[in-house]
Structure 1
Amino acid sequence: MANAGPEKFELLEAVFTVGKRLGVRSSDALRPVHVAEVSVVASIRLPSGRLVVDTPWPEDRPARELAEQLPPGTYELEASWIEAPYEFMGESFDGRECAAVRLLVRDEPVSVWEFALGVDDPAEQIVPGDEMGFQTDTAMGAFADARSWQALTEPFRKFWERCEQSPGIAFGRETEKVRSGEFEKVTDPASRADLLTFPAEEGVTAVWIGRTSAGHVATVAAAPHLSWLT
């Protein structure tokens, strides 16, 4: 199993601590980045205990279900916002964005962070230094119940199809907007399962499992907006 080294461990802990200084922007060494807010966004139901962390948009591949299963239940999703004020063309901006999200499984300290293996990931082929997670070019990820993935992602497939059939027309999505639309939630009444999106970046978004000293899963986290820190 690929565990986080000391620097990554410290960063994954710090990003969920208000007031922590995470570093500086790689493009501007004079702009320190601080954690401005950490709060619960919403809760999601995982009746099967099987968790997908992937983009909800149509992809020509199976959804990335995690090999680790959780006890069936309802879990809160917590998000971290960072700020790094900057100026551009004479205007000031707070540089605020969602840097990381995590599913709260147990209210216990994390003893070790490890890459969250997918059900189809060959553990013996893990290369040290590689980041394991999901890949997307849509800047959106999601936590969802794996058994209900098809039903929960239907609003995104419908939206995609409408846009392809009628380019240039603005369509809405049949999702619930959370925090002014920064997150989106979908519920499947039949299975009583949920999906919750979060802001991601294009490319690979690493997914981590935080374990307690006893080896239990305390949290599942994705931190897509930390790659530009130094």
Structure 2
Amino acid sequence: MPMSPRDYTWLFTPGSTFRYESGNTGVIHVADGGALDLPTGRVVACDPFVYLGSGDVEPFTVTVAPGRYRVEAAVATLARPDEPPAARPHRRVAAARLVIRDEPAVTWELALLPGQDPAELGDDEFFGYGVDAGTGCFYDAAAEEGFPEAQEDEGPLWDAFENSDWSEGPHLVRSPATGHTLAAFTSGWGDGSYPTWTGRSAEGEVTCFLTDFFVAPGPDEDTGGPV
């Protein structure tokens, strides 16, 4: 069976706590990333420093009505129980979501790109996007060429992270040349491959797109993950 979704309601509940096998702990807070413009309703998720403007990414097959939608991140503050609080808290983005409807998601499905078939996945496998620069994002497909200023270590995307001392985000970034926006954030422990899920309401309407960065185990799970 392909990977199953986790308890994302719990993960996006402020104050949710978890513990690693090492004894280190985490507490969740939800960080607001502002409202993202989706002029076409075709959603892209990727590592923006690597793929934005490359022509190598496609939007998900599931689309939504054009509009402006809230982005938020479940950020875990991690601590070692035998050490005093750090001067700069250790924070990691556990998951990020693009909220389409303020309704509970009762079912989850992998967000797919054209040609992807979940029936081809093996046990605990998933379709996801690769991260090579420690960041993820959401943007509308119309913004693929909408950031002409983003070249290597320049432009508004770089500035958003650099000016915040590379804080976790989410950062709502707007191109001064085109007005297109994207919402970017750090990606959990860093580079890797991460699934995006589509949440649906009891009526089958899309409630959100959610990328899981595998930082926080569920309330009934254990993990030996690093802290």
Taking structure 1 as the reference length, the TM-score comes to 0.77
Letter in 1 for 2:96: V
Equivalent AA in structure 2 for residue 177 of structure 1 = A
Per chain length, whose mean CA-contact separation is higher, i.e. which structure has more relative contact order (CA < 8 Å, sep 6+)? 2
Paired residues for 1:23-34 under 5 Å: 23-26=18-21, 28=22, 30-34=23-27
Correspondence list, 1:190-209, <5 A:
192-200=179-187, 201-209=190-198
Per the alignment, do residues 205 and 68 of structure 1 end up closer, same or farther by CA in structure 2, a change over 3 Å counting? Answer: same
1:140 aligns with 2:113: no
- Asked whether the 8 Å contact 1:54–1:64 carries over to 2, the reply is no
Quick one: distance in 2 between partners of 1:130 and 1:118? 15
In structure 2, runs of 5+ residues without a counterpart are none
Q: Structure 1 stretch 55-64 or stretch 105-114: which is displaced more?
A: 55-64
Change (3 A) 1:128 1:71: farther
Number of aligned pairs?
208
Cα deviation, 1:168-216, whole Å, max 9, x if unaligned, reads xxx5433462793534443357765311111112110111111111111
Measure, in 2, the Cα distance between the counterparts of 1:70 and 1:198. Answer: 22
Structure 1 pair 186–32 and aligned structure 2 pair: CA distance change class (3 A): closer
What corresponds to 1:163 in structure 2?
Answer: none
Q: Secondary structure at the match of 1:130?
A: coil
Q: How far did residue 128 of structure 1 move?
A: 3.9
* In structure 1, C-alpha distance between the alignment counterparts of 2:71 and 2:144, rounded to whole Å: 18
Residue 55 of structure 1 is matched in structure 2 by: 47
Specify the SS of the correspondent of 2:76: strand
Q: Percent identity?
A: 23
- The answer to whether the 8 Å contact 1:4/1:115 transfers is no
- Which 10-residue stretch deviates more, 54-63 or 70-79? 54-63
Deviation at 1:116, TM superposition (A): 0.9
| Cα distance in structure 2, aligned partners of 1:45 and 1:125 | 33
Q: Report the equivalent of 1:165.
A: none
- Alpha-carbon RMSD across the aligned residues, in angstroms, is 2.9
1:127 to 108, 122, 131: 122
Q: Aligned to 1:151, what secondary structure does the other structure show?
A: coil
Report the Cα offset of residue 25 of structure 1.
2.7
Where 2:160 maps in the other structure, the secondary structure is strand
Name the residue aligned to 1:81.
75
- Aligned residue type for 1:127: G
C-alpha contact (below 8 Å) 1:98/1:199 kept by paired residues: yes
Taking structure 2 as the reference length, the TM-score comes to: 0.78
Secondary structure of residue in 2 paired with 1:45: strand
More strand by proportion, 1 or 2?
A: 1
Matches within 5 A, 1:1-230: 4=4, 8=6, 10=7, 12-21=8-17, 23-26=18-21, 28=22, 30-35=23-28, 37-59=29-51, 62-86=56-80, 92-93=85-86, 94-152=89-147, 154-156=148-150, 158=151, 160=152, 171-175=153-157, 177=160, 180=164, 182=167, 183=169, 184-188=171-175, 192-200=179-187, 201-226=190-215, 230=223
Would you say the 8 A contact 1:2–1:126 is kept in 2? yes
The answer (yes or no) to whether the contact 1:55–1:142 under 8 Å persists in 2 is: yes
Question: Where does structure 1 lack aligned partners over 5 or more consecutive residues?
Answer: 161-170
Partner Cα separation in structure 2 for residue 108 and residue 2 of structure 1: 26
Report if aligned partners of 1:46, 1:193 keep a CA contact under 8 Å in 2.
no
Query: Whose helix fraction is larger, Structure 1's or Structure 2's?
Result: 1
* Cα-to-partner distance string for 1:100-144 (whole Å, 9 max, x where unaligned): 111110011110122111124234423341122100211111101
1-side partners of 2:214 and 2:121: how far apart?
23
How many angstroms apart in 1 are the aligned matches of 2:69 and 2:186?
A: 19
